[in-house]
A and B are shown apart, each in its own frame.
Chain A
């Protein structure tokens, strides 16, 4: 059970939270390409390493917020409010090692997978 630092309430047990998927997936209903829209709906980075994800402090202050977590160690590096940009964690080599060989976030362009 994780201990998640809510940006409003401080560290609280995972039982109070609801996970809400990857963060910073930009919603643009004007996208004309079905592939691009499909990628928005479904494609996820699913990073092995540090990931930006959303949580809601559902049984708490009710706020959605973002969280940088290492999906290998499950360590939480930072939480920040919705709307704020993803913090640039200039991790030193030692921290990276401790977090387990952190793969850079694959910010690959939306897959044209379909064709």
Chain B
């Protein structure tokens, strides 16, 4: 009787022995650049990771990464480092862009595991299939009722950034989703 469908369900890719782990990341240095492509190029040189001129691309260089968030907006992530923002700011030509240290504005959350995309999709309406959202893709989007920045670092590793006052909510959504997905 009902077995055929149950078996089918169990074998379907969304319900195999999936795993996920979700947790806050340690503090980081975060810098936003809003400005023109020229400014981005100069900043990239100092930051030692290119600020992608192409949309929705994150460039990682070691522990640093530069995420394209808009045609005039990039988010730079780096291990905590005093003075980094200042040196980048100094490098940025203020005629063409603006660098701001937002290290404390945001919190990073890591979503790791085979079920990561499924868990995120409980609240994020984007297509997170590896083909549609490949490694290195990043974007601002929504997770349920909060805004997040989503960056796929590895096939099964997502980096989520949100404003700090939304972090308990974002973490809560992800944790609840991971339960609702049965992991």
Contact = CB atoms under 8 A, between A and B. Distances in A.
Q: CB–CB under 8 A between A and B in the complex?
A: yes
A25 interface: no
Nearest to A60: B140
A8 B71 contact: yes
B70 A13 contact: no
Interface residues of B, number: 13
B125 A8 contact: no
Given A59-B141, A60-B140, A13 B71 contact: no
Interface string B133-172: 0000001111000010000000000000000000000000
Interface string B115-145: 0000000000110000000000001111000
Nearest to A11: B127
Interface of B: 55-56, 69-71, 73, 125-126, 139-142, 147
B126 A61 contact: no
The SS class assigned to the A binding surface is loop
Contacts of B69: 61-62
A15 to B, nearest CB: 5
Interface string A59-80: 1111100000000000000000
